[in-house]
Amino acid sequence: MLSGLTTGSIYALVALGIVLVYKATGTINFAHGDQLMIAGFLAYTLHVMLGLPYLVAMLGAVIGSFLLGALAERIGFRAVLRSNLINVVLATLGLSFVLKGVARLTWGGISDYLSFPPLVSPDPIMIGDLILLPQQLVVTAGALVVMGLFALFFRLTTIGRAMQATADNPKAARLVGIRVEHIHMLAFAVGAAVAGAGATLMAPLTLLYPDIGFTLFIKGFAAAVLGGLTSLPGALVGGLAIGIVEALAAGYIHSSFLEVSAFIAIMLTLVLRPRGLMGGPPPRRA
Amino acid sequence: MRQPVLLGLAGALALAVLPLVANPYLLFVGNQLAIFVILAVGLNLLVGYCGQLAFSHAALSGIGAYGTALLKVHLGLPFFLALPCGALLATAVGLAISYPALRLSGLYLSLATLAFAQFTLWVFMNWEAVTFGAGGFRVPAPSYPLIGAGLGTYYLSLALAVLLALAAASLVRSRLGRAMIAVRDGEVAAEALGINLLRTKAMAFGLSAFYAGVAGGLQALMLGYMAPESFDLFHMALMKAMIVVGGLGSIAGSVIGAGAVLFLLEGLRAFKGAQEIAFGSLLIAAVVFAPRGLAGALNRLPRWRESYLRRPARDAAP
């Protein structure tokens, strides 16, 4: 249950990036998980191989993936965003494979699974009958902080408001002088940056390997769909719900149900209530 | 007219005499090419002609492959019964998922089919009593009259590829094919013309699943070995790359795209990372620079006519 909350908060961070890109551009970024994976490897390089402190590594991973997201948007997506949906989805899928290949060639040689050193002491704390792992608490708290910062950015800064306006109505946003192309680029970049933060938080709990991106993507994606693809609070609720359901399914049914519960959640949500728990109507595409 | 068909038949003829001169490796590549052509043509019917972006093709071909192989292994059916049964099983599953899936459109359809594909893989991995789990299993070699198993499967695949590609080329000119194109170009307009949207989409789904099932069954016969990884998302992306590079909404394009992708795949066989980078870049480059694919370039040749190769319409909001 508690570990479900921890993984759930990670999924929520992944979902946040997916929802952000979907709201701004009306498409799903299939490379989101792989951007996260790359950020994890960046953090590993900075923290473990270069010996920088954890927070610096986190900052580096966030900035790195921000730039990577912006670059990917400029090269791959701007040209196709205005054409049909099939092309956009395929372009993000293509990027996903490129990133995976790059990771395999760059970091795959060291060993198949890289382990990230723990942040705090791995000894569990006992409160009554509850066993708490400090590591999990740190990760959950970190994820919540990132989400809080993100919400503030969205509500309070001019850029955040411009992004909301673009999501709401791209034509009107253009009329009041917002550069919609820049907003799209920013959405991809900020989405990737959130993924970067998520990756750095998550890395000490899991191992790093090139194929982790897709696994996380599908979980975050299930969270986003469950919460409603257009709702940022929905992403949080969906993420926590998926995390808990997974933990319960693995605990009470069979451990192999851990993987499959996310897919079942996606299918059920889409069939029964395509808008998800908290979603509104789909965004208009620019 | 019909230049594409003539060239295609010439290519098939060339493949038909290939075994006289080729070594086993080339034979394998030729066989794989025939299977890829079936897969790509089937996927293009659904994505390129009917405009439904589904991610279930690899999983459905897996169902065809497992169906064929398991009927042989568990029930001892001869392959000429098991192969059609596997293909029909894939068709049935395809039709079954099409009904809930088709209430959704656009992006949501791809999400639902993606989840279905991962779910299918999970079943292959975990239903060990029937599917033998992640380790895979051996498929006994089929026997043919007169010729050996390798050659037999080769000619069977080649014949089916030619037959199914020709069938698809005439299908897209038929009433159903034109209905599919109308659905792609504008659902509301198509419905106003009296086209039954749900039925047309379900037919496209079922047909495409049938092609996937046949290809999967052939794959099982050719490799003599089954494992879940052969039907994962990487293979889905390969198939997408085939139809995008070849040209969405073009049968000739599917055939060319299948060849191009196979060429790259075999060229980079030893380097998994490089393979992924090459395919990813190929996909991006194709959609950015040549959204109509190689078939779009071919259509500029004099006397090369392939009808219905139009730019897929902008999709409706999901």
CA distance B101 to chain A (A): 7
Residue pair B49/B184 in contact (Cβ under 8 Å)? The answer is: yes
Helix (H) or strand (E) holding A130: strand A130-132
CA A177, A170, A34, A260: dihedral to nearest 10 degrees? 150
Lowest mean pLDDT across A207-216, B108-117, B150-159: A207-216
Of the candidates B114, B237, B288, the beta carbon closest to that of A80 is on B288
- Rounded CA separation A145/A140 (Å): 9
Residue pair A18/A226 in contact (Cβ under 8 Å)? The answer is: no
Chain-chain contact of B118 with A218 (C-beta, under 8 angstroms): yes
> For B22-33, how does the pLDDT look when each residue is reduced to its tens digit (9 = 90+)?
677 788 888 888
Chain-chain contact of A85 with B315 (C-beta, under 8 angstroms): yes
CA distances from residue A203 to A209, A257, A264, B90, B128 in whole angstroms, order as listed:
10, 23, 26, 40, 32
Chain-chain contact of B233 with A221 (C-beta, under 8 angstroms): no
Residue pair B66/B58 in contact (Cβ under 8 Å)? The answer is: no
**Quick one: closest CA in A to B123, which residue?**
A260
| pLDDT band, residue B317 (cuts 50/70/90) | very low
The residues pairing with A208 across neighbouring beta strands, listed in sequence order, are A114
What pLDDT sits at residue A113? 62
Residue pair B244/B283 in contact (Cβ under 8 Å)? The answer is: yes
- Rounded CA separation B70/B127 (Å): 13
- Say how many CA atoms lie within 13 Å of B315 toward its Cβ: 25
Q: Given a cut of 60, is residue B71 above it in pLDDT?
A: yes
**Quick one: closest CA in A to B103, which residue?**
A271
Of the candidates B107, B233, B283, the beta carbon closest to that of A28 is on B107
Q: Given a cut of 80, is residue B288 above it in pLDDT?
A: no
The helix/strand/coil state of A115 is strand
**Quick one: closest CA in B to A28, which residue?**
B107
Task: Please report the number of interchain residue pairs, chain A to chain B, with beta-carbon separation below 8 angstroms.
Answer: 142
Of the candidates B51, B103, B244, the beta carbon closest to that of A90 is on B244
Report, in this order, helix, strand and coil percent for chain B, each rounded to 5: 75, 0, 25
Chain-chain contact of A91 with B318 (C-beta, under 8 angstroms): no
> For A132-146, how does the pLDDT look when each residue is reduced to its tens digit (9 = 90+)?
667 777 777 777 888
Q: What is the mean pLDDT of chain B?
A: 78
- Rounded CA separation A57/A36 (Å): 14
CB atoms inside a 10 Å sphere around CB B76: 9
- Using the CB atoms, write b or e for B197-219: b if 16+ within 10 Å: beebbbbbbbbbbbbbbbbbbbb
Of the candidates A27, A100, A271, the beta carbon closest to that of B276 is on A100
C-alpha angle A110/A113/A117, rounded to 5°?
A: 95
Q: How far apart are the first and last CA of chain B?
A: 39
- Rounded CA separation A195/A33 (Å): 8
Higher pLDDT, B1 or B260: B260
Helix axes A32-44, A180-202, angle to 10 degrees: 50
What pLDDT sits at residue A59? 80
> For A198-233, how does the pLDDT look when each residue is reduced to its tens digit (9 = 90+)?
777 777 777 777 777 777 888 888 888 887 777 777
The C-alpha R_g of chain A, in whole angstroms, comes to 18
Q: Where are the alpha helices (DSSP H) in chain A?
A: 2-25, 32-44, 54-72, 78-81, 85-106, 134-156, 158-168, 170-175, 180-202, 212-227, 232-252, 257-272
- Rounded CA separation B177/B246 (Å): 19
**Quick one: closest CA in B to A273, which residue?**
B104
Express as a percent the part of chain A with pLDDT over 90.
0
Of the candidates A84, A91, A271, the beta carbon closest to that of B100 is on A271
Q: Tokens at residue B307, please?
A: 């009808």
User: In B, which residues are within 8 Å of A108 by CB distance?
Assistant: 273
Q: Given a cut of 80, is residue B139 above it in pLDDT?
A: no
**Quick one: closest CA in B to A108, which residue?**
B273
- Rounded CA separation B295/B299 (Å): 6
Chain-chain contact of A89 with B53 (C-beta, under 8 angstroms): yes
Interface test with A, best of B268, B287, B311 (most A CBs within 10 A): B287
What pLDDT sits at residue A83? 66
Of the candidates A79, A101, A260, the beta carbon closest to that of B122 is on A260
Q: Count of residues for chain A?
A: 286
User: In A, which residues are within 8 Å of B53 by CB distance?
Assistant: 85-86, 89
**Across residues B215-229, what is the average pLDDT?**
81
**Quick one: closest CA in A to B99, which residue?**
A271
User: In B, which residues are within 8 Å of A105 by CB distance?
Assistant: 273-274, 277
Chain-chain contact of B288 with A76 (C-beta, under 8 angstroms): yes
Q: Given a cut of 60, is residue B230 above it in pLDDT?
A: yes
**Quick one: closest CA in B to A78, which residue?**
B288
What pLDDT sits at residue B1? 39
Averaged over successive runs of 10 residues, the pLDDT of chain A (286 residues) comes to 75 83 78 81 77 76 81 73 72 82 70 60 61 72 80 78 74 76 79 80 72 78 79 79 79 70 75 65 52
Chain-chain contact of B279 with A214 (C-beta, under 8 angstroms): no
CA-based nearest residue to B158, from B210, B208, B212, B215: B215
- Rounded CA separation B110/B115 (Å): 9
**Quick one: closest CA in B to A262, which residue?**
B115
Q: What is the mean pLDDT of chain A?
A: 75
Output DSSP code: residue A113: S
Structural domains of chain A, ranges and CATH numbers in brackets: 2-113+132-272 (1.10.3470)
Helix (H) or strand (E) holding A207: strand A207-208
The ipTM (two decimal places) reads 0.72
Residue pair B202/B176 in contact (Cβ under 8 Å)? The answer is: no
What pLDDT sits at residue A114? 63
User: In B, which residues are within 8 Å of A271 by CB distance?
Assistant: 100, 103, 112
Output DSSP code: residue A117: P
Higher pLDDT, A206 or B191: B191
Chain-chain contact of A225 with B111 (C-beta, under 8 angstroms): yes
CA distance A116 to chain B (A): 23
Global pTM exceeds 0.80? no
Chain-chain contact of B110 with A89 (C-beta, under 8 angstroms): yes
Higher pLDDT, B245 or B102: B245
| pLDDT band, residue B312 (cuts 50/70/90) | very low
Residue pair B61/B219 in contact (Cβ under 8 Å)? The answer is: yes
